[in-house]
Every structure is written in structure tokens, then in C-alpha cells.
Amino acid sequence: MSTPYFEFLRAELAPGLLEGLWTSVLVIVPSALLGVVIGITAGVLRVYGAKPVRWLADCYVSLFRGTPLVVQVFFWYFALPYIKIGGWSLVLDPIEAAILAFGMCSGAYQSEYIRGGLNSIKRGQIRAALALGMTTRQAVTSIVLPQAFRRALPGCGNEIIYLIKYSSLASIITVNELTGTATTIAKNTWRNIEVFCTLGVYYLALVTIAAWLLRLAEDALSVPGFERPRT
């Protein structure tokens, strides 16, 4: 007979998953940041960019939203080294490939919300700001962005929550984050149900905490008329 669940959890599973958790955080945080930066850039370009730039940004978004994330992860990790330009090629280690894949994909989704936020600000407000003597730059930074940011926050925050869940795909390219560690433990102990259900609880906790933080942020920034649509 194997050890009882709680003993197993204390001695083996929890310490292992804790280590995996750190790796997960190491993947999630940089890719979330990367995603936000790319998302804002692409979103702004899609609204205010010149026509060819807008077109390029649109292509990027539909490409990365239109294909499964696993295929993208596979591409960055397995296929990228095969692309040789002038005899050079880029080989990424698993964590780097995961961060790049998640960041690029997340950025495409983020840009949708940024774009929506920007478009929701009526042109009239910019005109009003200019009429008050502001420069275009001042109008954008002090009138448009603060509003667009509030409008985009719920969507962008949700995207980060998705990112937490999809970070589990890093295990497919051998990153030993939460899911990767759990798979190893399950293989070694043959206690699949217990290991994977516990893993599920870890993700539930992560996602719930993130949703709660997001809510706090929204409340802190809330202005009448910018309430999040209650779900």
C-alpha cells in the first residue's frame, strides 16, 4: 500500500509543485509583460498607424489568433532553429521559447482590447483637448490613454488569466513548470488522479488570486461610467 494522500502531498507532491510553481512564475511574468508591451504597440499601431503599418499589425494579430498556441510553441522551439539566414539561426532554450511564444500570442489578443479601448474614445474629446490648447501628444497622454486604459483593463486582465492557464503548455517543450513537474511525479509514483487533481487545485488558486487582484485594480481605478460590465 502506498502512503496516504496527505502524507504524499506533504513529503513529495507539495515540495515538487512548489519548485514547479517558481518556474511557472518565471515563465508567466515575463511573457505577460512581453504580451502587454506587444499588445499596446500593436493596438496603437492598428488605430493610429499609417496604412501599411496598420495592415502589418492586422496580419500579425490574425495570424497569432488564428492558429493554436501549441503550434506556435512548437514553431518557436522546434522549427525556429531550422530557419537559417546567412548561415545563422536562432536557437532558444525551452524557457525562452515558451516566453516568446506566450508573449507573442498574448500580445495579439491584448491588442484587440487596446484597440477597442482606443476606438471607444470619441474623436470629439481629442478635438476638445486641442481646442483647449493642448498639443496632440498631451491630448493623447492625458485624455485618451487614461480612458482607453480603463476600458481595456478588464479584457487585458482576463488575457493574463488565460496566460496563466496556457502556461501549462510549456511542459510540452520540456519546461519543468507546474504541469511538467506534476507529470514527472505522476510517472514516478503512478498516482495520476491525486497528482493531477492537486495540480488542478494549484491552477484554480492561481487563477482565482489573479482574478481577485484584477478586480481590486479595476475598483481602484473605477470612475463612474467606466464600470466593468458585471458578469
Partner 1 sequence: MDFSVAFNAARDSLPYMLGGVGWTAGLICGSMLLGLALGVPLSVLQVYGPKPVRRAVSLYVWLFRGIPILVQLYIFYFGLLAWLSQLPGLTDIGLDSPFTAAVLVLGLTSSAYQSQIFRGAIQSLPGGQLKAARALGMTDAQAIRTVILPQALRLSIPGWSNEYSILLKDSALAFTIGVVEIMARMRSIASTTHEPVSMAFVAGIIFFALTWVGVKGLSLLENKVRIAGYTRQGAV
- List CB contacts of 172: < 8 A, sequence separation 6 or more: 70, 73, 74
In angstroms, the Cα distances linking 33 to 29, 57, 87, 143, 222 are 6, 19, 32, 24, 23
Q: C-beta of 145: minimal distance to partner 1 in Å? A: 28
Q: Per CB under 8 A, which of residues 102..161 are in contact with partner 1? A: none
Q: Does 2 sit near partner 1 (CB under 8 A)? A: no
Instruction: Report residue 14 CA to chain centroid gap.
Output: 26
- CB 50, CB 115: distance < 8 Å: no
- CB 164, CB 28: distance < 8 Å: yes
**Cβ closest to partner 1, residue 53 vs residue 79:** 79
Q: C-beta of 68: minimal distance to partner 1 in Å? A: 4
The three cell numbers locating residue 80: 525556429
Compose the 29-68 pattern: x for residues touching partner 1 by CB under 8 A, - for all others: ----------------------------------x--xxx
The three cell numbers locating residue 123: 474623436
The three cell numbers locating residue 58: 492586422
Binding part of the chain for partner 1, among 26-34, 43-51, 71-79, 115-123 by CB under 8 A, reads 71-79
State the residues that interact with partner 1 by CB under 8 A: 63, 66-71, 74-75, 78-79, 82-84, 165-166, 168-169, 171-172, 179, 182-183, 186, 192-193, 196-197, 199-200, 203-204, 207-208, 231
